[in-house]
Structure 1
């Protein structure tokens, strides 16, 4: 005789197993960039760095990011790869990811001067972003509104003083960068 409870249980198990296939996280191989010369695993570290740096220099940041991610997954103590990832994240407005990447650099090499500078610049950019967000919640006639604007101006001016010989990064309403990272 057919047991309704066990039949329902089988249906649930089948449905759940089918649904689990829909939410399977990407594997390492899905994160690897395609290459004309073969799989990234077939390339040595030097060749991967060359491909990553060429993509980076040509402004193909998505491709460069994939290469550098592939490199740090295989070689997590390569500060230069983490540093380039930080620059990619900063340039694309992903400031929290940039902070994480620069902090990885400094865990590996706490004397990496450019990483210290870029981390500080990224934190200032985050501060400017917070100020911009706060201005939509602070009443314009509040003394805090003027203080927030003054703080934003001081932060941006301080960064620009230190980078007077560098051009300022392009900005838009979504990206709150206040200067150029060191390459």
Structure 2
């Protein structure tokens, strides 16, 4: 019986010690202030369209705060602005893992995918002969996608 009590006490002490490791102080840690500084650096660079600096900062933030949507979303926007559409899609998917119903992310992902589709049809057009029916299909697709993207997705007025 005494052995069981000693064993139980040891387990309880171990569990209490494990639990104390997860307790967070109310004081901001040095890493919290570093993250805040990095967020500010990223935000300012993004606003100034300094894509290189903001990309580096947001990449760093995705590593330091992987469960925050904003760095992933902004990184996707940076890639879209710099015409790196595959990277944009990847970053937007990173944001959607965290917030699957984020409509801003879904919107930007959709626009990026439309841009990728237009790029594919433009490439298709380059590889088709002038009289090939597929060339006119590619032209129509590029025209339709371009018009859709340029409308800013404003809904039509109700009749």
**Is 2:143 aligned against 1:148?**
no
For residues 99 and 64 of structure 2, the distance between their equivalents in structure 1, rounded to whole angstroms, comes to 18
**Is 2:90 aligned against 1:100?**
yes
Query: Residue 160 of structure 1: CA displacement?
Result: 2.0
Q: Deviations over 1:24-48 (max 9, x none)?
A: xxxxxxxxxxxxxxxx969432221
Match of 1:118 in 2: 108
For residues 118 and 99 of structure 2, the distance between their equivalents in structure 1, rounded to whole angstroms, comes to 28
Q: Deviations over 1:126-148 (max 9, x none)?
A: 01111111111111111110111
How many correspondences in the alignment? 125
For residues 143 and 119 of structure 1, the distance between their equivalents in structure 2, rounded to whole angstroms, comes to 30
Q: TM-score, normalised by structure 1?
A: 0.65
Query: Residue 161 of structure 1: CA displacement?
Result: 2.3
**Of the two, which has the highest radius of gyration?**
2
Match of 1:89 in 2: 79
| Structure 1 runs (4+) greater than 4 angstroms displaced | 40-43
For residues 88 and 110 of structure 2, the distance between their equivalents in structure 1, rounded to whole angstroms, comes to 11
Match of 1:160 in 2: 150
Please show how residues 1-183 of structure 1 align to structure 2 within 5 Å: 43-163=33-153
For residues 100 and 88 of structure 2, the distance between their equivalents in structure 1, rounded to whole angstroms, comes to 16
Q: TM-score, normalised by structure 2?
A: 0.74
Query: Which is richer in helix?
Result: 2
- Gap runs ≥5 in structure 1: 1-39, 165-183
